[in-house]
Each structure stands twice: as structure tokens, then as C-alpha cells.
């Protein structure tokens, strides 16, 4: 990874509802999930041009993630997180992505359960 690809774009606090879980009741009702993304990409061209076409459009990636998550039906947050990461890596400018996925209310004894994964272009 080049030094420039250490540039990071953070998208935090995305909130969606989806079918997620292994219990029978989780397979019926949509549940909330929260997602934070860190996209590693060289943003130097956009810094020079001031043109959104030279960078990753945050709105576009957020909408793609929303459509994927809200249309999904996975048993495990691990599978959902991996799918979100692979979706982000479809943009060839993204060299690496960190996905943090939170499932509020997953445990009675805790506020939320979360998972963080990292995927790179080599993982595709």
C-alpha cells in the first residue's frame, strides 16, 4: 500500500434495519444495525482538483451500503460485515476498508454487540 493510500475517509453512524440473527424471532422482524466505515484511498487528486469525480462520493457509497444491508438476510454479523466490506471494495480507488458493525440490543446484559473487520483488495 502506497503512503498516499493511507488517506482515510470516515463514514460513521450509518443506521439501518435488516433481518439479522440466528434465533427464530430474529428471522421475522427487522432489527437495527449501525455501521462505521473507514475507506483507505488516495485522495490527492481530489485535493488538487476539488472535483467530486476524483474521489469517493460519500453519498453514493452510503446509499449502496444502505441498499445492500436493508435487502439482506444473514444469520451472522460476520457475514453481513464481510458483504459490506466487499461492496466498498468494488470501487477500485478503495484499497482497504475497515467495517465496524454494531447490533444494539443483541444481549440483554449489554447495550450493543459489535464486530470490526478489515478487508483489502487482495481479499477479493
Give per-residue pLDDT as tens, 15-29.
Answer: 999 999 999 999 999
Confidence of residue 3 (pLDDT cuts 50, 70, 90): low
CATH number, domain at 42? Answer: 3.30.1130.10
- Alpha helix locations (H) across 1-124? 44-49, 58-70, 77-88
Its pTM stands at 0.93
Instruction: State the catalytic residues.
Output: 103
Number of structural domains (the chain) is 1
State pLDDT tens for residues 85-112. Answer: 999 999 999 999 999 999 998 887 888 8
Confidence of residue 84 (pLDDT cuts 50, 70, 90): very high
pLDDT in the model for residue 110? 83
Task: Concatenate the DSSP letters of all residues of 45-63 into one string.
Answer: HHHHH--GGGS--HHHHHH
Average pLDDT over residues 63-79: 97
Distance, CA of 101 to CA of 112 (rounded, Å): 10
What does the CA dihedral 100, 103, 106, 108 come to, rounded to 10 degrees? 90
pLDDT in the model for residue 93? 94
State pLDDT tens for residues 41-70. Answer: 999 999 999 999 999 999 999 999 999 999
Q: Is the dihedral of CA 2, 120, 101, 87 positive or negative?
A: positive
Contact 97, 65 (CB under 8 A): no
Residue 25: which residues within 8 A CB-CB, separation 6 or more? Answer: none
DSSP 8-state class, residue 38: E
Q: Could you tell me the residue range of the domain that residue 115 belongs to?
A: 4-123
Amino acid at each position: 500500500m502506497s503512503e498516499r493510500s493511507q488517506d482515510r475517509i470516515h463514514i460513521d453512524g450509518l443506521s439501518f434495519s435488516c433481518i439479522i440473527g440466528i434465533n427464530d424471532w430474529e428471522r421475522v422482524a427487522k432489527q437495527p444495525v449501525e455501521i462505521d466505515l473507514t475507506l483507505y484511498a488516495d485522495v490527492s487528486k481530489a485535493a488538487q482538483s476539488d472535483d467530486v469525480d476524483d474521489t469517493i462520493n460519500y453519498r453514493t457509497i452510503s446509499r449502496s451500503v444502505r441498499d445492500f444491508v436493508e435487502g439482506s438476510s444473514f444469520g451472522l454479523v460476520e457475514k453481513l460485515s464481510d458483504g459490506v466490506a466487499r461492496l466498498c471494495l468494488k470501487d477500485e480507488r478503495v484499497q482497504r476498508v475497515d467495517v465496524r458493525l454494531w447490533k444494539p440490543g443483541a444481549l440483554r446484559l449489554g447495550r450493543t454487540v459489535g464486530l470490526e473487520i478489515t478487508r483489502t483488495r487482495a481479499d477479493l
